[in-house]
Amino acid sequence: MDKIVEIEGLSKAYTQGHEQILVLENLDFSISKGEFVSIVGPSGSGKSTFLNIVGLLDDVYSGEIRLFGKRLEDMDEAEKAVLRLKNVGFVFQFDSLLPEFTILENIEMPARVLGSPAKGRGLELLERFGLEVIAGKFPMEISGGEKQRAAMLRALCNTPALLIADEPTGNLDRHNSGVILDDLRRAADMGTAVLMVTHNEEAARRADRALRMAGGKLTA
Ligand SMILES: Nc1ncnc2c1ncn2[C@@H]1O[C@H](COP(=O)(O)OP(=O)(O)OP(=O)(O)O)[C@@H](O)[C@H]1O
Ligand SMILES: [Mg+2]
């Protein structure tokens, strides 16, 4: 299988005052193309810390990370920034849509940031996920569940190899959580590697592989 991310011996500590707090300790991980992986674990166990590192938002750590077979150490900042924009999509727990733009404009924003027009990709995604009715609406005119799904389509707009979702169902009821999980599965079936953190055991079980974060490590 094509490995999208490979991690060996990842450790991460935060400095708080004079103390060093070790959050990730000698952790190993990998995820392949089209694979849907979930992570559960207690609050404060380091799940978001881990996602930030995998998603290239944090580069203060020790250990080896390879993205698409390339060592992060061997890349400069500009290379990493392009890699992140082109290949990594993020969905956060809290709403992050821009209020002054329509849903379609929001979804196509990553393509604009990259300087390549989306060429109908936003509408295509909205149709494929059955959301074309909200294309022209503004974020304040749609429900929380729809916002969450729109944020996910935005993350998928550049057809990322890796989709990172930090508690994507955190604020949703059972029905809408199910809809988001179906969406994530569909994204994985389209070839994207999906890495999801959740507090919901039922959601975690819907992944191909469910991991637990504890003691600074990820275990099956
Ligand atoms: N920027 C930071 N500086 C110092 N400590 C931090 C920082 N960010 C997180 N921490 C600490 O690192 C630990 C892991 O935090 P993290 O946010 O990764 O946990 P989490 O597993 O995502 O928790 P939750 O389920 O509540 O979102 C916590 O003890 C937290 O207080
Ligand atoms: Mg977190």
Tell me which fold the domain 3-99+160-219 belongs to. Rossmann fold (3.40.50)
- Can you give the residue ranges of every domain in the chain? 3-99+160-219
Q: Which of 16, 23, 58 to mutate to test the pocket of ligand 1 (most atoms within 8 A of CB)?
A: 23
Tokens representing 196 are 């999801």
Q: Could you tell me if 174 and 16 are in contact, meaning their C-beta atoms sit under 8 angstroms apart?
A: no
In sequence order, the 6+-apart residues with CB closer than 8 A to the CB of 146 are 131, 134
Q: Ligand 1 within 6 A of 45 CB? A: yes
The one-letter amino acid at 180: I
Q: Spell out the alpha helix ranges (H) of 88-157.
A: 103-113, 121-128, 144-156
Name the one residue in this structure whose structure tokens are 């599965």: 185
Cα(220)–Cα(200) distance, integer angstroms:
16
| Nearest alpha-carbon partner for 23 in 52, 44, 40 | 44
Distance from the CA of 62 to the center of ligand 2, in angstroms? 20
Distance from the CA of 14 to the center of ligand 1, in angstroms? 9
What is the CB neighbour count within 10 angstroms for residue 24? 25
Q: Give the β-pairing of 36-40 and 193-197.
A: parallel
Cα(147)–Cα(92) distance, integer angstroms:
11
Atom of ligand 1 nearest to the CA of 41: 21
Q: Ligand 1 within 6 A of 44 CB? A: yes
Q: Could you tell me if 7 and 54 are in contact, meaning their C-beta atoms sit under 8 angstroms apart?
A: yes
Q: What is the pLDDT of residues 166-209, one digit of tens each?
A: 998 887 888 888 988 999 999 999 999 999 999 998 899 999 99
pLDDT tens over the chain, length 220 residues: 699 999 999 999 999 899 999 999 999 999 999 999 999 999 999 999 999 999 998 999 999 999 988 999 999 999 998 888 889 999 887 778 999 999 999 999 988 887 777 678 899 999 988 999 999 999 999 998 899 899 999 999 888 999 999 998 887 888 888 988 999 999 999 999 999 999 998 899 999 999 999 999 999 9
| pTM of the predicted model as reported, rounded to 2 decimal places | 0.91
Q: What is the pLDDT of residues 88-102, one digit of tens each?
A: 999 887 778 999 999
Q: Ligand 1 within 6 A of 34 CB? A: no
